[in-house]
Amino acid sequence: AQSVTQLGSHVSVSEGALVLLRCNYSSSVPPYLFWYVQYPNQGLQLLLKYTSAATLVKGINGFEAEFKKSETSFHLTKPSAHMSDAAEYFCAVSPGGNQGGKLIFGQGTELSVKP
Amino acid sequence: EPEVTQTPSHQVTQMGQEVILRCVPISNHLYFYWYRQILGQKVEFLVSFYNNEISEKSEIFDDQFSVERPDGSNFTLKIRSTKLEDSAMYFCASGGGSHAEQFFGPGTRLTVL
């Protein structure tokens, strides 16, 4: 069965510091992978996606993620945190990337940014 | 930019009552979904809908739940007899099929008393 594990339910960084949010997946077929961000009282916004092309994926707001098949990981990074990055981040997998397939989400990681 | 919209933003209901949550997906999308997020927990898949029928549903989506696309624009989730444990944020999403990408609405917070 496919699953997603996000290590760390809460990550706190200082403004300007590196952001690293961890995501590991389990999938029996080549997956499509996504990171979504949820700001307070808002819906889920797509940050970036991996769809079997380049393994290093760049997204919005300066975020990027690297797909590592050998480690079954898709960690999200940003070189320099900004106060506006404080939000909940969800990693998700679409098993096989099939059209119309469901997304399976991780537990989420709440990112806090200290001034 | 096209977006998914949901109404109402917050619904309060008594246990045992029926509720209908409404969504307007992005107009040229073909795939529609409902997810829910119980407070403090992860987002869970409920159901997917394509070509006017359910394509997949989770164990959560039992006989108390139903979905409908009554016209060319709306997509609804009905809960026939709400339970306390149905209290959650319900998200509608739609997708055009491209790389399984899904676009989410802002959610409806359902509170069952």
In whole angstroms, give the CA distance from residue A13 to residue A52. Answer: 31
Residue by residue, pLDDT tens for chain A (115 residues) are 788 999 999 999 999 999 999 999 988 777 889 999 999 878 899 999 998 778 899 999 999 999 998 999 999 999 999 999 999 999 999 876 566 688 999 999 999 999 9
Q: Which of B4, B50, B107 sits opposite A100 (nearest CB)?
A: B50
Coil/strand/helix, residue A43: coil
CB contact under 8 A, B104 and A98: no
Is B30's Cβ below 8 Å from some Cβ in A?
A: yes
Which of A44, A57, A89 best probes binding to B when mutated, by most B CB atoms within 10 angstroms? A44
Output the pLDDT for position B32: 94
Q: pLDDT (tens digit, 9 = 90+) per residue, A22-39?
A: 999 988 777 889 999 999
A44 Cβ contact partners less than 8 Å away, ≥ 6 residues apart? A36, A37, A38, A90, B43, B91, B93, B104
